[in-house]
Amino acid sequence: MEIAEFQKFIRDKYYTRDSERGTAGTFLWFVEEVGELASALAGDDQDNKQEEFGDVFAWLCTLANINGVDLAKAVQKYTTGQVKGFK
């Protein structure tokens, strides 16, 4: 599945509820999932890591959707050589 397809899937399934929650509330859910990912990364359970990466990506898609951001377009700079150097 492509990024745009997944983002649309999340939008089709959750947009109404997510937009009602708003950016601030949705961001809190996103941060909670990032915390769960951090805990998973500290452990050895590969299945848990995979689950938490998926949750973080789904919530990132939700944030992008309610803020009108196309994630596939947002990451183009990485695939077209527009990013120079390292952070």
Could you report the per-residue pLDDT of 51-64, keeping only the tens digit for each? 999 999 999 999 99
Taking residues 35-43, report their average pLDDT: 98
Contact call for residues 10 and 59 (beta carbons, < 8 A) = no
Contact call for residues 17 and 66 (beta carbons, < 8 A) = no
Nearest to 18 by CA among 75, 74, 72, 58: 58
- Whether domain 18-68 has CATH 1.10.150.130: the reply is no
Alpha helices in 1-87 (DSSP H): 3-41, 46-66, 71-74, 76-79
Length reported for the chain: 87
* Per-residue model confidence (pLDDT) at position 87: 60
pTM for the full predicted model? 0.89
CA distance 66 to 45: 32
